[in-house]
Chain A
Amino acid sequence: MECVFGLLGDGFALVAADTSAVHSILVHKSNEDKVMILDSHKLLGASGEAGDRVQFTEYIQKNVHLYEFRNGIPLATAAAANFTRGELALALRKNPYFVNILLAGYDKDIGPSLYYIDYIATLHKVDKGAFGYGSYFALSMMDRHYHSGMSLEDAIDLVDKCIIEIRSRLVVAPPNFVIKIVDKDGAREYAWRESIKDAGVSAA
């Protein structure tokens, strides 16, 4: 089952997501990137119905970019989060998107922020959040070890602790994860945690 989780640290925010693309009992690929770089200083980690996930997050990304071209400045993280929630809310009673989202961003005057947006358009500004079966384990780990203003080293350590719990305790645990970070220098990939590499074709 898919898993996305994230937390705020000292001047940064982390978003981690599993990287399995699954259909019924088949794993299509184990290196699917589910944390989209929304713009220079925003991350959008999404999980849920595969088609909806890509469709909805790309739609949000293009609209965020359009705002920047129209207005000459990027959207604030809070504004992007509210826009995203609004789109989910509009579609909810017509043709809902089944996508859960963690939106992390860095604003110059506010610092890092993290928003929890679920598929029925709930919006919460949080310090830590998680979606999926893995959330049971990730949230418990974070409840135990998280404190505000963690250093990057400690935060990555906590993320790794969560990943270990998910791998060892969830029955159909995703093997690989991607971790992305956003801070004053922008949004970027931080690391992958792979326990299964997509094997190449062996020589004949």
Chain B
Amino acid sequence: MARYDRAITVFSPDGHLFQVEYALEAVRKGNAAVGVRGTDTIVLGVEKKSTPKLQDSRSVRKIVSLDTHIALACAGLKADARVLINRARIECQSHRLTVEDPVTVEYITRYIAGLQQKYTQSGGVRPFGLSTLIVGFDPYTGVPALYQTDPSGTFSAWKANATGRNSNSMREFLEKNYKETSGQETVKLAIRALLEVVESGGKNIEIAVMTKEHGLRQLEEAEIDAIVAEIEAEKAAAEAAKKAPSRDT
């Protein structure tokens, strides 16, 4: 097995590209990230691992804008993310320059995925160690979209998805609890999914909400705390209702 993971361009006898799979491992070690698509709102959430006391947390932005109508969150190697995000931002403007149209979410996802794939089939390079969640509204139809890419360069559209640490638990939660939501309900669903795997509280979660009118808005810590409190209250009420069965016969 050791002979097949040295060079990226080499298949193993049983059809694996080990470097790509190791890159996926790196993603699994990255911070948890979740994306939920509503009818008029799309929410991205990322786990904020404890910030060192002396660090200026504003310089660590995990949810970024690629264009006025497209945003991205990722899990994995943050330095690799910087490179991909930069290329994507350039492509967004380049597309606007050459065809006088903003990119669609699918186009920029295909571009990023294509870039990730290139690095699985070139000599002397390693794959990008990150998976991305890309959200946005179609510039003309206004239809919201959520896509995910991974180090192998595959991409697909999702109603809701999670990546990074404990993404399986979050995805299970979403599969059980997903329904078409809008506005604040979408935000709550995303936060509830994140809270499954992350310590509760505004300072451990970063949430950004994208709407057609206002673009990407990062929520303040206080706002997140308020919503988390709402969710905990709802949970407590549900628990109480379960424990005390109806007395009426």
Most chain A beta-carbon neighbours within 10 Å: one of B61, B89, B94 = B89
Q: Give the residue name and chain of the B residue nearest to A61 (CB).
A: B97
Q: Give the residue name and chain of the A residue nearest to B95 (CB).
A: A62
Give the residues from 68 to 99 in chain B that come closer than 8 angstroms, CB to CB, to chain A: 86, 89-90, 92-94, 96-97
Chain B binding site: helix, strand, loop or mixed by DSSP?
A: helix
Complex-state Cα separation, A134 to B97, whole angstroms? 31
Provide the residues of chain A in CB contact with B93, threshold 8 Å: 62-63, 65-66, 69
Q: Does A144 contact B (CB under 8 A)?
A: no
Contact across chains for A58 and B97 when beta carbons are under 8 A apart: yes
Q: Does B225 contact A (CB under 8 A)?
A: no
Q: Shortest Cβ distance from A77 into chain B, in angstroms?
A: 20
Q: Does B66 contact A (CB under 8 A)?
A: yes
Complex-state Cα separation, A63 to B92, whole angstroms? 11
1/0 per residue A9-48: CB within 8 Å of B? 0000000000000000000000000000000000000000
Contact across chains for A62 and B94 when beta carbons are under 8 A apart: yes
Q: Give the residue name and chain of the B residue nearest to A69 (CB).
A: B89
Complex-state Cα separation, A58 to B94, whole angstroms? 10
Give the residues from 42 to 82 in chain A that come closer than 8 angstroms, CB to CB, to chain B: 58-59, 62-63, 65-66, 69-70, 72
Q: Does B67 contact A (CB under 8 A)?
A: yes
Q: Does B65 contact A (CB under 8 A)?
A: yes
Q: How large is the interface on B (under 10, 10 to 19, 20 to 34, 35 or more residues)?
A: 10 to 19
Complex-state Cα separation, A62 to B89, whole angstroms? 11
Q: Shortest Cβ distance from B188 into chain A, in angstroms?
A: 28
Q: Give the residue name and chain of the B residue nearest to A64 (CB).
A: B93
Given contacts A69-B65, A69-B66, A69-B67, contact A62 B97 (CB under 8 A): yes
Complex-state Cα separation, A122 to B159, whole angstroms? 53
Contact across chains for A70 and B89 when beta carbons are under 8 A apart: yes
Complex-state Cα separation, A72 to B61, whole angstroms? 10
Provide the residues of chain B in CB contact with A62, threshold 8 Å: 93-94, 96-97
Complex-state Cα separation, A65 to B97, whole angstroms? 11
Q: Give the residue name and chain of the B residue nearest to A70 (CB).
A: B89
Q: Give the residue name and chain of the A residue nearest to B64 (CB).
A: A69
Provide the residues of chain B in CB contact with A65, threshold 8 Å: 93, 96
Provide the residues of chain B in CB contact with A66, threshold 8 Å: 89-90, 93
Give the residues from 175 to 189 in chain A that come closer than 8 angstroms, CB to CB, to chain B: none
Provide the residues of chain B in CB contact with A72, threshold 8 Å: 61
Complex-state Cα separation, A26 to B92, whole angstroms? 37
Provide the residues of chain A in CB contact with B67, threshold 8 Å: 69
Provide the residues of chain A in CB contact with B96, threshold 8 Å: 62, 65
Most chain B beta-carbon neighbours within 10 Å: one of A62, A63, A66, A69 = A69
Q: Shortest Cβ distance from A74 into chain B, in angstroms?
A: 13
- Give the 5 A-B residue pairs with the shortest CB-CB distance, closest first: A62-B93, A62-B97, A66-B93, A69-B89, A65-B93
Which residue numbers of A lie inside 8 Å of B, CB to CB? 58-59, 62-63, 65-66, 69-70, 72
Jot down 12 A-B pairs with beta carbons below 8 A, ordered by A.
Answer: A58-B97, A59-B97, A62-B94, A62-B96, A62-B97, A63-B93, A65-B93, A65-B96, A66-B89, A66-B93, A69-B89, A69-B93
